[in-house]
Amino acid sequence: MAVRGLDQNEVAARVRAGFTNVSSRGSSRSFWHILRANLFTLFNAVVGASTVVLLLFGDWQDGLFGLTALANVLIGVLQEFRAKRLLDSLALLSATPARVMRDGMTTQIPTDQVVIDDLLVLRVGDQVPADAIIVSDVDLEIDESLLTGETDPVGKAVRTSVLSGSAVAAGHGTARVKQVGADSYSSRLTAEAKRFSLVNSELRNAANRIVRWVSWGLAPLIILVLNAQMQAAGGWDAMLQSGRWREVLIGTVASAASVIPQGLILMISISFALAAAKLARSEVLVQEIAAIEILARVDTICFDKTGTLTDGAIAFDAVHSVCDSPPPGWEAVLGCFGADDDANATARCLRDAFSAGALKPSSSVPFSSDRKWSALSIPQGPTIGTWVFGAPEIVLAGGKAHPVLEKELARLIRLGPRTLVLAHSDEELTETEVSAHRLTGLLQPIALVTFAEKIRPDAADTVAYFREQGVSLRVISGDNPQTAATIARQVGLVFDGAGYDARELPTDLDEMGQILETHSVFGRVTPIQKRQLVRALQQRGHVVAMTGDGVNDALAVKAADIGIAMGSGAAATKSVARMVLLDGQFSRLPKVVAEGRRVIVNIERVSKLFLTKSVYAILLSVAVGVLLWKFPFLPRQFAPTDGLTIGIPALFLALAVEQRPYRPGFLRRSLRFSIPAGVVTAMVLVGVLAYARLSGTYPARESATAAAIALSILGFWVLLVTSRPVTRGRVLLLFTLIIVLAGCFVVPVVRDFLDFALPSGQLVTVTFGVAAIGCIAIEIIFRRVSRQRGIDGQISIDDQISAVPPRP
């Protein structure tokens, strides 16, 4: 079996037994998860129930407000399902087949068709599809960076294990599969990370909190209003016997539906969806639309070095001479090491910097992670002899002291780049030494050669941007702490001391959090520790973002307030991330921050419109319930005032290009204005209705229309103050909306549809007079609230404070 692999009968038997490599490796949330998150909400339940009641017992026109809930669901589902489809297609394109030996022949098959005991044929660049045991190897080296974060390849010998998700970095070999599907290492590591949870959005939480408060008060409010409607219409007995209770029910539901800030929740969804579409054009895939807000609130970002600050590739850095009179042509020797067919990833970096010219080695020893050196023999010319390239502590072990080399090596170690030595001996390699992989002769160091990871060209500017914004940065890497610290300094991260070795981290989150407050760079961090570091920061009150690309980052990416994956990263990590940078450019993040801040500022502005409406609707319902009045408005009559003083202008305000640094307490600041403004509006409406009732000369339709006119005037004034500073475009919008709303009262067809009747006599004067007093009161409230914010050291609503522009 070790030579021929499995035959078809053995494969079929394992497939029947279920020993295949099929596992849940979806790249994103399922459609059911997306639908559940957007459909099963308290808001949808309340609005949906009210809509059903009106459709069953009233006119269909009165149930149109239910479209708000439907639109809210559709926006969220369509946007997130679009992200799911795109991410699934990316995962499909990146899926590589597995190479196995069956019936003595090497063949390629889909990874989910690999079975237990299959013989994998591993070559450079192959990704290991399942956990396996090495059967044979020729200088086989495995890159486990996606699993551990450690960038150095690991040498693998016969009978050692190789894990799914790792890749062949050098050499070749075969391995027998031992764990498949959900039992493999990468599947076990990501199983917990794939558990579904919603992103913690302050905007959405605030809206849900309002709906929850209102919902708790709906039952007593409905009872109060229902009793008032029955009493105002002749009493319970008379209404039940006459069958007119349906009319009463419609008025009661109208009052209940009016207190729910439907438009606010819809506006949040629209703002998020439009922002997500805008970011998609910049190669940023938002898997859950509320995630846009979170990055604007983040105060701490954790980076996985590899794949975020660097692209994971090794690059030649420099040559440091340590020999007074090196043999001529030694640079061409470096070219020979780079051009060797068996060169590892580090040596191949020399190909662009050095040319081998006419040099032809007569024999060579390939690099091995166990030996940590490679060698070649030059038979003639000025470079004749044996040349060795490898780790200084191995290559020069047992030789005489070299003070110049030791001093330079100590300096380079402090700086952190990967450092190898080029050494020379006049003696050539013998066949025995080549076959035994043994060094010979007295080696003289010629030069130290340094290598560094390729830093992403956008990393330094992006780090500088976040530092300017006051965002704390942490590098969390599975690599060597000193190497991680070197990269961090190169991209502009300022910190004291060296990288912290995570093997010395305590397990207690409090103690871990204290270390995080004083250290910025961590190396040798395991996947579990990455998640614990994120949780320790969250426990200390930080809003944490985590970026990464490997399977080793999946748990931390999931635990963070917002997880960000690179487009070239592991499918498991992209599946749990809230956001994916499709082109892997770190510089996309400032644009996301700017977009998130714009959404937050604009939603805070428009929330004052919707919350003012909820406050006056609640107070009006209580007033008519206590006074035993008929509720003055039909559900359809709220449509023009809501749409033209709140809904449509809110949409324009939500799209405004304005941003400022995030400040917590969005709901508190909104209610500070909305509650007193809502009280004033309710008092004006009750005043108009009371005058109409006390005069005894105005029909109910005229009273309701007078109240609707007063409500429209106050609504426009609330819009005016919350839109400040008033621009030319906003003035034009305001006048347009006033004209359209006036048409709802004077155009006969529209007026009849809305069941309005123009008021007459003194009612008109009283309506405009009381409304004018209300506008003055709202202006005073606005100025006092703005002045109070200035005293508190907060940003006034009409201060035009912009964030530092994102770097390109």
DSSP state, 144? -
Residue from 672, 703, 699 nearest 685 by CA? 703
- pLDDT at site 779: 93
**Lookup result for tokens 């005293």:** 791
Task: Determine the pLDDT at residue 568.
Answer: 74
Q: 800: which 2 tokens?
A: 């035009």
Confidence label for 798 from pLDDT (cuts 50, 70 and 90): very low
The pLDDT of residue 801 is above 50: no
> What's the chain's average pLDDT?
80
pLDDT tens digits, residue range 534-560?
Answer: 999 999 999 999 988 876 787 788 889
pLDDT band at 661 (very low <50, low <70, confident <90, very high): low
* pLDDT > 90? residue 181: no
Residues 6+ apart with CB under 8 A from 419: 392, 409, 412, 413, 448, 449, 450, 451
* 345-357 pLDDT per residue, tens: 788 889 889 998 8
Q: Supply the pLDDT for residue 555.
A: 79
- Residue 474 — pLDDT band, cuts 50, 70, 90? very high
Query: In the structure encoding, which two tokens stand for residue 207, read together?
Result: 């809206």
Percent above pLDDT 70 for the chain = 82
Q: Catalytic residue positions? A: 304
pLDDT digits (tens, 9 = 90+) for 488-499: 888 888 777 778
Q: Report the range of poorest mean pLDDT among 213-227, 233-247, 314-328, 731-745.
A: 233-247
Distance CA 709, CA 741 (A): 9
Which of 27, 29, 165 minimizes the C-alpha distance to 551?
Answer: 165
**Residue 328 β-bridge partners:** none
804: confidence class by pLDDT, cuts 50, 70, 90? very low
Residue 680 has pLDDT above 80, yes or no: yes
Cβ partners under 8 Å of residue 387, min gap 6: 330, 333, 336, 337, 375, 376, 377, 378, 422, 423, 424
Mean pLDDT for the stretch of residues 293-299:
83
Q: What is the DSSP track for 602-651?
A: HHHHHHHHHHHHHHHHHHHHHHHHHHTPPP---HHHHHHHHIIIIIHHHH
Determine contact, residues 496/519, Cβ cutoff 8 Å: no
**pTM across the whole model:** 0.64
- The reported pLDDT for the residue numbered 86 is 55
Best CA proximity match to 629, nearest among 221, 220, 232, 227: 232
Q: Which residue has the higher pLDDT, 91 or 350?
A: 350
pLDDT of residue 714: 94
The yes-or-no verdict on residue 325 having pLDDT over 80 is yes
SS3 content of the chain, % helix, strand, coil (to 5): 55, 15, 30
